[in-house]
Chain A
Amino acid sequence: MANPMEQFKVETLQPLHAAGYDVSYTNSSAWMVVALLAIAIFLFVGTARPQLVPGRWQAAVEYMYGFVVKMMDENVGPEGRAYVPLVFSVFIFVLACNLLGLIPWIGAFTPTSHISVTLGLAVIVFATVCVVGLLKHGLHFFSLFWPKGVGPIMGSFVCFIEFLSFLSRPFTLAIRLFANMTAGHVVLKVFGTFVVALGSIGALPYVFGVLPLVANVALTALEVMIAVVQAYVFALLTSLYLNDAINLH
């Protein structure tokens, strides 16, 4: 039986070392490059010959951009427009990685199923939130943690608790995406091995083998939905965290 975790193996394609660190070019890096190329083609073709009445491709690009702009307007307000490039980049990169990893070609790999990738993205978001908050509000930024209408003793206690949950944000952001992607791909692979295992036993191989195959088709549809929803959730939480930094309360 095939190992369901084998699909997550990071293989070094070109060994590289810089300042004592292993920065080798891996299949994970390669798939991120593929995702970037796919995004670049999507956006360049969509905006190459802009028309007043958009064609299908241009409409798709405009819809995705408008989706992020609307999300920022709703969650942050007019000041959120300055951060649309960041949120849009994060959103479309996560979406491209998630969706490209679902296509079952040889050597398929999902970079977002590795916590090093998702944590890297989450730390970028977290650092942006901290820098924006401190630059915009100075030390007043820390009033974000102070609850309203509470005495000084209870207030400092709740303030500390709020600070702990603030510190855990990049990790929960990273774990949510990574866990969803990993779990989904494991389930798909396990049901795939069921097709082979059940299809090769007994007198009625097609009867037993068809059941997990049907389940796998349905699960693939579910995984496509999860890939989109998780990219959306990542971008949504990014916008909510930016709202904290920009508007405080």
Chain B
Amino acid sequence: MFVVPGLNGVCTLDKDPARHGASGGDLDRRIAAAEARHPAVPTPVAGQGENQGWAMGVDFVGVVLVSAFIGWAVDRWAGGHGWWHGPWAMLGFLLLGFAAGVRGVMKLAAKGAGAAGGSGGMAPLPDDEDDD
């Protein structure tokens, strides 16, 4: 039983045995023909922009927090040796994490602008990464 999307959105059941023959290539050909008659229209997915915003925010905050934590751990480890003072490693790693976060957001924005046709978006970064 093969369901064909008919006109006016009505699904019609194709019960004609002649068109149900054992010829395997026939089905592929008819699917291709049906797809040519009804070209796929790219529909905007609801919440896509929201998802992208979430992704940027989470990536940015995450990398800053993880970097600061690494710096804090370095401080804690080095502080036991007497010659190290202050939260300098944490501060340094916080700044590095900020840089990493901005880099990540720029990459994501460049990718999003490319996908959206590049209208009004950021210029894509030089392709120095694995973002394919």
Residues in A lying within 8 Å of B, measured CB to CB: 53, 144, 147-150, 158, 160-162, 164-165, 167-168, 171-172, 175-176, 179-180, 222, 225-226, 229, 233, 243-244, 247-249
Contacts and interface: CB of A to CB of B under 8 A. Distances in A.
B91 interface: no
Contacts of B16: none
B62 A161 contact: no
B47 A164 contact: no
Given A171-B62, A172-B58, A229-B47, A164 B96 contact: yes
Interface SS, B side: helix
A176 B52 CA distance: 12
B128 interface: yes
Given A171-B62, A179-B58, A229-B47, A164 B130 contact: no
B63 interface: yes
Given A161-B100, A176-B58, A243-B130, A168 B51 contact: no
Contact of B66 (A168, A176, A233): A168
Interface in B12-67: 46-47, 51, 54-55, 58-59, 61-63, 65-67
Given A168-B63, A233-B51, A150 B103 contact: no
Nearest to A244: B130
B15 to A, nearest CB: 15
Closest A-B pairs by Cβ, 8 of them:
A172-B62, A168-B66, A168-B63, A147-B128, A161-B100, A165-B100, A164-B100, A176-B58
Interface residues of B, number: 27
Nearest to B126: A149
A175 B65 CA distance: 12
Interface in B99-122: 99-101, 103-104
A167 B101 CA distance: 12
A207 B44 CA distance: 35
Contact of B55 (A176, A243, A248): A176
Given A147-B129, A175-B62, A176-B58, A164 B67 contact: yes
A249 B1 CA distance: 46
Interface SS, A side: helix
Nearest to A148: B128
Contacts of B100: 161-162, 164-165, 168
Nearest to B48: A229
A219 to B, nearest CB: 13
Contacts of B129: 147
Given A172-B59, A248-B130, A164 B51 contact: no
Contacts of A244: 130
30 contacts: A53-B1, A144-B130, A147-B128, A147-B129, A160-B96, A161-B96, A162-B100, A164-B63, A164-B70, A164-B93, A165-B63, A165-B101, A165-B104, A167-B70, A168-B62, A171-B62, A171-B65, A171-B66, A172-B58, A172-B59, A175-B62, A176-B54, A176-B55, A179-B58, A226-B47, A229-B47, A233-B55, A244-B130, A247-B130, A248-B130
Nearest to B2: A53
A116 B101 CA distance: 24
A222 B128 CA distance: 37
B70 to A, nearest CB: 7
